[in-house]
Structure 1
């Protein structure tokens, strides 16, 4: 039997499993587009734009010192109880959580896997709202679960008929990718319904510190064995390269999860760094996180306003990323993301989210300088794409004109007449653009995003039949190139201006 046809000793349903799609692909993009990694702006991964706490002396944190202390312990196994880490995590939440409620984790994905392994049996049903973080589905499929999708807007109206058949309901709060934040009262209501129906409510609060930590329901776990909270430190502290997070559950539930989790799931460096971060004075309301939220709010408002001015439809967000509807553009999310990446700016193509289609992107909120670069790159990409489309249309029209002459008025066009009734539309895209000759009626105007742009609104000369004939006599015969365009301008326009 050949290598390609030999059976693989895994559960059969895993053969069709696809990994979750994520942002943050800096190295991949660097290799694909030959752009140095340090020149790439990553607005696809939603990290704290304020930077790491180690950049601010008032935190009292020294990264090199913490790394050195972690390395001192690399010749011994970590203490699998993680007592100091769990104590720091409990105090960090500031909601009466105790160390016995804490389950250490190597980031979000491992925590999701741990909980699903402990709760789901093959064939069980789980509820996943759309759209949301893809790892819920991936980890549940590894366990052989039956995925049932529901709409985000239906979460608050779920009834026993739906919940009663589900082992787990996943709720990301604030939601990734939409940025929607449910209040703690709304989550509490969902949790009460889940408990009545023996359904575990898995609340992912990975971004809560960057949104509104007062909406957390971490203080409710002790009274509800069917409530589990996930926290991820990598987003709030902008250090995704050090994997660390924790779960919060009732003491009885947490004990089982701590017994079942992988031993030594935090290495000595992650343990040491994470503990120091969690011990920061003020916890979720430390000066660092308060100032982070203030920056995010200011820059989110700025970026949202600017995206609106570009014709995009950004959704209202509570956190450090913005979900954007681009359905009014002919360019889909995948092409836009690829074109942005070719210019060194990464955004999140949301087509990989469940049944969302290719009309949405997610843009991380960054600093003002970085946000301006994102906006400028979007403008540049759309301009380049528009010119490509227009030139393709011009070439197609020139090809048609070679057979039958000028094409006349395109009365089926939504914009007809864009200049005057009876205009000829063969040169819909002007071969001379931007001519920068104000004798034509064209002029420099202020663009919506700042700066000047050449406008042809008051130029109608290339839509006059006699001018079109003279232009075509050159471009059809000699083709469209720099030399022929100069000749057509001289023969057809210069004499008429």
Structure 2
């Protein structure tokens, strides 16, 4: 990370509502957590009187089983964003170039710039079609699946074919799978390509974003670079113990996927009465409000105690909002706040 680039850098807008009296649909986190988490966390507090085991054997094993790779390929990090930063830090040098999708997570371009490198933007739905000729001129390509904020997931076969082209061009491929756990699609961690780095977040799927737990997956020289560069004790004991426990809650994951898929479809049908709603494989929906005022939609929802994400902060979106998929009762409140009830006619405010 270059000091000059840091001085020129800026923070990136995110979802998340600090007011606990407001129902937060601006952050895409599971409203449920696995049974037993509180007991695991409480038990980890006593163990926190000592430094954690910096090898993290149990966490690595649980993470590897979850994504389908060998434990020694797992690099523990304090959240998915920490895995993304670590991957970019060990990959890019000053004045190099990275292919970055848009509209997508704003931290990719920020992290690239902090390295003194240059983001080259490509539409997220065109990125997997990029050929070897263009890839030969870039050092890193980033794919987000499912993409945030649009929610579309990459076809695993198309993604692997893209990984092969990246390898041919000598380009590192960083795959951000922060929300892939909400689907049953296979992880890029199963690819047998040493140019691929995968970033995973635990805390969105398991409803614990404040815990900060995640990991990267890589092999060969890239795995060795990540392991060397990661901070010592990169996960605290509570995050390690709770993360390990959550990764093994297969029934919880299965039930979450079923609920999200069902509620997402129900919400999409209701929201389409008022907005243009994009297809999504993720626990969120992006809505084009058309000629309505985005600020007006946000303010109107907030008057009803609901926070919605302003998606105009994403490159390429100028009339959009993003809403999370929560539990049935909360989703009903959102739909009512947006005048998009499942039953009955909507009314313009």
Distance 2:127 2:174 in 1: 13
Residues paired across the two proteins, number: 347
1:79 maps to which of 42, 53, 57: 53
- What is residue 247 of structure 2 aligned with on the other side? 278
What is the alpha-carbon distance in structure 2 between the residues aligned to residue 335 and residue 261 of structure 1? 44
Alpha-carbon RMSD:
2.0
Distance 1:229 1:453 in 2: 45
Whether the 8 Å CA contact 1:48–1:210 is kept in 2: the answer is no
Distance 2:91 2:219 in 1: 15
Q: 2:26 aligns with which of 35, 44, 47?
A: 44
Please name the residue that 2:297 is paired with.
336
TM normalised by structure 1 equals 0.67
Structure 1 residues 13-70: Cα deviation after superposition (integer angstroms, max 9, x where no partner)? 333311111111x22xx3xxxxxx1x31111111124x1112xxxxxxx233212321
Secondary structure of 1:236 counterpart: coil
**1:158 equivalent among 99, 122, 130:** 130
- Of 279, 285, 310, 1:316 maps to 279
2:256 corresponds to which residue?
292
Contact 2:94–2:116 at 8 Å: present in 1 too?
yes
Partner of 1:53: 34
CA distance in 1, matches of 2:189, 2:3: 36
CA distance in 2, matches of 1:192, 1:64: 43
Could you tell me how far apart the structure 2 residues matched to 1:341 and 1:452 are? Answer: 18
Partner of 1:387: none
Equivalent residue runs for 1:216-235 within 5 Å: 216-220=187-191, 223-235=192-204
Point out the more displaced range, 82-91 or 66-75.
66-75
Structure 1 residue matching 2:95: 3-state secondary structure: coil
Match of 1:14 in 2: 6
Deviates more, 1:65-74 or 1:288-297: 65-74
Matches within 5 A, 1:432-471: 450=344
CA distance in 1, matches of 2:76, 2:247: 12
Select the structure of larger CA radius of gyration: 1
Alignment of 1:46-445 (within 5 A): 46-49=28-31, 51-54=32-35, 62-93=36-67, 95=68, 97-214=69-186, 216-220=187-191, 223-280=192-249, 286-310=250-274, 312-329=275-292, 331=293, 333-357=294-318, 359-379=319-339
The aligned counterpart of 1:392 is: none
What is the rounded CA distance, in whole Å, between the counterparts of 1:23 and 1:119 in structure 2?
A: 28
> CA 1:453/1:65 → structure 2, altered by over 3 Å: closer, same or farther?
closer
Q: Secondary structure at the match of 1:126?
A: strand
Deviation at 1:206, TM superposition (A): 1.0
In the alignment, the residues of structure 2 paired with residue 251 and residue 243 of structure 1 have an alpha-carbon distance, to the nearest angstrom, of 26
1:239-265 deviations in Å (ceiling 9; x for gaps): 101000111111542222111101111
Q: 1:75 to 1:355 in 2, by over 3 A?
A: same
Q: In structure 2, what is the Cα distance between the partners aligned to 1:63 and 1:155?
A: 38
Say if 2:213 and 2:243, in contact at 8 Å, map to a contact too: yes
Give the CA deviation at 1:226: 0.8
Higher fraction of helix: 1
SS at match of 1:201: strand
Measure how far apart 1:173 and its partner are.
0.6
Q: Give me the whole-angstrom Cα distance separating, in 2, the residues matched to 1:147 and 1:452.
A: 42
**Aligned to 2:147, what secondary structure does the other structure show?**
coil
User: How far apart, CA to CA, are the structure 2 residues paired with 1:448 and 1:82?
Assistant: 47
Q: In structure 2, what is the Cα distance between the partners aligned to 1:121 and 1:365? A: 38
The corresponding residue for 1:3 is: none
